[in-house]
Amino acid sequence: MKKHFIVFAYCLFPLFPSLLGFLPFRESGEWGGVRCFSQDFTPQKPADSTAAKGKPPFWSWDKVYGGGGLGLQFGTFTLINIAPDIGYKLTDKFSAGIGIRYIYLGDNTVVPTYKMNVYGASVFSRYLITDFLFAHAEYETLNGPWSYYNDRRSFLTNMWVGGGLRQHAGNASMNIMALWNLNDTPNNPFPNPQIRVGIGIGL
């Protein structure tokens, strides 16, 4: 925000009081030809009213949105995928956020039944190309036992890139994304590419 400073010039000099006594004072505000003040003085308004009001704050709850996805599958192969996300609109088109991941896998086709619990987190960014089309990039790290033969846990890193479509419905939206994993490995149990369907809700 621009600041406007008004500098006042004082015409009374304590070191020379005797000199001022010889100078005639006029009602117009002049003292010996030197104009000290004016009764019709009015301060100037700032040229830029937007600058006077100041820039909008960087943080606002209106820019926060939540969402994510929920996946459920039951039968001989059980899958529970809980993936809440929260994001912040840095600009009208660009946003970034974080997510939490929990995945449960159960395979009843083997004896004993194979069960796996996966925990993780992600960081994502999203750019709106149009009102309904967006690009998406996400860094995801997951911790789980990735082998049927032992319970040793390790970290798995995924780098998802792609895009999606969104359909607005009031303050909410439905999203569908197609993402490709740039860090795919033979031990990665997740499909590549991956199709995600989720919702977004503005706070």
Residue 192 tokens, joined:
């590549």
pLDDT given at position 23: 47
Pairwise CA distance, residues 71 & 111, whole Å: 25
- Residue where one domain finishes, among candidates 12, 33, 55: 55
Cis omega before residue 112 (within 30°)?
A: yes
pLDDT digits (tens, 9 = 90+) for 98-107: 999 999 988 8
Whole domain around residue 74: which residue ranges?
A: 61-202
| Count of domains observed in the chain | 2
Residue 171's pLDDT band (cuts 50, 70, 90): confident
Indicate whether this model's pTM tops 0.75.
Answer: no
pLDDT given at position 46: 53
Residue 78 shares a structural domain with residue 164: yes
- Cα dihedral 13/18/22/23 (nearest 10): 0
Residue 116 shares a structural domain with residue 168: yes
Pairwise CA distance, residues 22 & 128, whole Å: 75
pLDDT given at position 12: 39
pLDDT digits (tens, 9 = 90+) for 81-130: 999 999 999 999 999 999 999 999 888 888 888 889 999 999 999 999 99
Residue 107 shares a structural domain with residue 43: no
Residue 125 tokens, joined:
């960014």
CA distances to 63, 129, 175, 201 from 169, rounded to whole Å, are: 17, 19, 11, 10
CATH of the domain at 174: 2.40.160
pLDDT given at position 6: 32
Residue 28 shares a structural domain with residue 124: no
Residue 30 shares a structural domain with residue 108: no
What type of residue is 87? G
Residue 35 shares a structural domain with residue 120: no
Phi and psi torsions of 195, nearest 5°: -105, 125
Secondary structure (3-state) at 7: coil
Helices H, strands E: what count in the chain? 2, 10
- Residue where one domain finishes, among candidates 55, 70, 97: 55
- Chain-centroid distance of CA 108 in Å reads 42
Residue 135 shares a structural domain with residue 51: no
Residue 119 shares a structural domain with residue 196: yes
Residue 73 shares a structural domain with residue 94: yes
Residue 71 shares a structural domain with residue 9: no
pLDDT digits (tens, 9 = 90+) for 23-77: 454 444 444 554 444 445 445 555 544 444 567 677 888 899 999 888 888 888 8
Residue 16's pLDDT band (cuts 50, 70, 90): very low
pLDDT given at position 18: 46
pLDDT given at position 118: 96
pLDDT at 201 over 70: yes
What does the pLDDT average to over 1-5? 36
Residue 110 shares a structural domain with residue 51: no
